[in-house]
Amino acid sequence: MTSIEARGLTRRFGDVVAVDTLSFGVEGGEVVGLLGANGAGKTTTMRMLLGLLTPTAGEALIGEVPVSEVDRRAMGYVPQGLGLYPDLTVTENVAFAAASFGVPGPSLAEAGLEHIADMRIGDVSLGMRRRVAFLVASCHRPAVLILDEPTSGVGPLGRARLWETIRQSAEAGTAVLVSTHHMEEAEECDRVVLMAAGSKVAEGAVREVIGQARTVAVAGDIGGEALAAISDEGGTVLSTGSGWRIVGLDVDGVRRVVGAEAGVEEVPATFEEAFVALSR
Amino acid sequence: MTWGARDVSVLYAGRPALVEVTVDLRPGQIAIVVGGDGAGKTTLCRSVVGLEAVAGGRVSRPARTCFQPETSGVWPELTVMENLEFVARGYALDRFHARSRIAELLELTDLADARDRPGRQLSGGMRQKLGVAMAVLSEPELLVLDEPTTGLDPVSRLELWSFIDLSARQGRAVLVTSTYLDEATRADVVTVLDEGRVLASGSVAEIISGMPGRIFVSNRKIGKQSWRRGASWRAWSETGDPIPGARAVEPDLTDVVTVAALAGEQR
């Protein structure tokens, strides 16, 4: 059963089409990443799927039921701002959420949060606050979890532990939709949905999205004027330490600007480069 | 010539915010400081530019140093052009020179079409690019950028990095901070901070080759020194001894920084 489904989802704000006939689904047990540039429509999509924003057209379905008819206990949500109470302790925040959903408070020890149980949320590190927010959103064991940038600002170890928790929820059957700006986190997802200007531009496993995308690598040094010229032609130039990678121009275009054939070649794109090419 | 921080310590209300941190800054090089929230990145930037008193160690910087704070430094009520002109006037740049320099920067940052738009109406990426343009307007020898890419989408991040690369190529020393570990590969030297302490430093290759022990990959969690990455688990063998049921892999920067954080936690 598809647990989360966007079916032709559309939202206009005046003349602006923020989300345009978007369709995708997330199965129970699956982690799907929603990726896109700022303003691509990710948060608007999440808000429609949560029932916080009415679509102009199309449907948001949770467990194949329109979201407006769904019991809120079926859903868990971690917003970017986390939605915790800074003056309450970790225990109090979790107990309040559990009581609101009418379930017993979850074990802080099992969640690895026992050592900060009596600390005020405002005094807890961001990585720990994000883990508490996740526990608050998932304490009632929802069928669906929607996470808006859940690891933003957290170091690598904290991020690895958050993903461990997210994965455990998916393994227990929860459908997880997660937005992120970290390209390396796309690898944590079973599939990704890429949005640009309100529409879906790609969907699939990271490897499928990269597909045949290519980028142009330039070995060694190129002059500052050539770099500026590449930028003028619409290319985005990136240093790799030993050379350069150019997105947005083909190999002939780069050779023309650089004025050399040697050391300029097409190579397979990274996911980030494929993402940039698709988002243009 | 080298600037930067040497064994710098900073205290906030008696608590250490930075502990003996060293970062070398050289002309034409990009130095990146990576870490999560609370790692000490902003304190380090502020120390280097002289906005923070240091309790130990020393900082050095050239006379022409420009700092872009995390908030971008753009005045929201001024237009793009007015922001740049205001900074040019603040540095008493010759009017003719300022005009051509502003025109050049507007082209390089793709902000020419937005020149009359107020700062508050710019997207996050445009605002950060304007902030960096304002910082390089006076042609500083050292450019310090505090988390310029935080909250930016990948497209804006790449465009901003392209502009930062260009600034370094013009001979500037650049110090950038970031929460994104993958951005470390764009810099010449990397310092990883955690709770005010240096977890690792050097080039990416040096940091990776300096990791003690070996990394293994497995389809299950193996003790406390293991963590999830994608669909599988990583495990660190401190001694390098094989881990039954797991295969050795070449570590990348994420593995090495995770190991350093694990080791720090267990101390």
CATH assignment of the domain containing A183: 3.40.50.300
Are A144 and A260 in the same domain?
no
Average pLDDT, stretch B203-217?
A: 93
How many Å lie between the alpha carbon of B52 and the closest alpha carbon of chain A? 22
Are A51 and A160 in the same domain?
yes
B-chain residues within 8 Å CB-CB of A220? none
Q: Residue A241 has what pLDDT? A: 61
Length of chain B: 267
Average pLDDT, stretch A121-128?
A: 84
From residue B239, alpha-carbon distances to A241, B61, B112, B203 in Å are 31, 41, 57, 24
Q: Range of A258's domain?
A: 211-279
The total domain count for chain A is 2
From residue B189, alpha-carbon distances to A199, B164, B230, B238, B248 in Å are 39, 15, 27, 25, 27
Q: What is the domain-level CATH number for residue A221?
A: 3.30.70
Of B59, B68, B253, B260, whose CA–CA distance to B177 is shortest?
A: B68
Contact B228 A160 (CB under 8 A): yes
Sheet holding B65-68, edge to edge: B65-68, B142-145, B173-178, B30-34, B189-194, B197-202
Q: What is the domain-level CATH number for residue B194?
A: 3.40.50.300
Distance CA A9, CA A62 (A): 13
First to last CA, chain A: 34
Are A153 and A250 in the same domain?
no
Residue pair A161/B258 in contact (Cβ under 8 Å)? The answer is: no
Are A108 and A246 in the same domain?
no
Look at residue A87 and tell me whether its pLDDT is greater than 90: yes
Q: Residue A86 has what pLDDT? A: 93
Look at residue B264 and tell me whether its pLDDT is greater than 90: no
Are A192 and A64 in the same domain?
yes
Residue pair B31/A241 in contact (Cβ under 8 Å)? The answer is: no
Average pLDDT, stretch A96-107?
A: 92
Alpha carbon dihedral B110, B116, B122, B127, in 10-degree steps, equals 60
Are B146 and B252 in the same domain?
no
Are A194 and A234 in the same domain?
no
The pTM for the full model equals 0.81
Are A195 and A166 in the same domain?
yes
Which chain A residue's Cα is nearest to B253? Answer: A156
A204-241 pLDDT, tens digit per residue, is 999 898 887 888 988 877 776 777 788 778 788 777 66
Are B8 and B125 in the same domain?
yes
Q: How much of chain B, in percent, has pLDDT values that exceed 90?
A: 55
Structural domain ending residue among the three candidates B205, B222, B251:
B205
Are B197 and B77 in the same domain?
yes
Are B104 and B235 in the same domain?
no
Are A264 and A148 in the same domain?
no
Higher pLDDT, B177 or A182: B177
B203 near A CB under 8 A: yes
A-chain residues within 8 Å CB-CB of B124? 38
Over its C-alpha atoms, chain B yields an Rg (Å, rounded) of 21
A138-182 pLDDT, tens digit per residue, is 999 999 999 998 887 777 788 888 888 899 899 999 999 999 877
Q: Range of B170's domain?
A: 3-205
Nearest to A276 among B158, B170, B203 (CB): B158
Look at residue B45 and tell me whether its pLDDT is greater than 90: yes
The total domain count for chain B is 2
Nearest to B261 among A36, A155, A238 (CB): A155
Residue where the block lists tokens 């010449």:
B188
B-chain residues within 8 Å CB-CB of A188? 229-230
Q: What average pLDDT does the structure give for chain B?
A: 90
ipTM of the complex: 0.72
Angle at the Cα of B161 (from B155 to B166), degrees rounded to 5? 135
Residue pair B251/B211 in contact (Cβ under 8 Å)? The answer is: yes
Q: What number of C-beta contacts closer than 8 Å exist between A and B?
A: 123
Are A199 and A224 in the same domain?
no
Structural domain ending residue among the three candidates B205, B222, B255:
B205
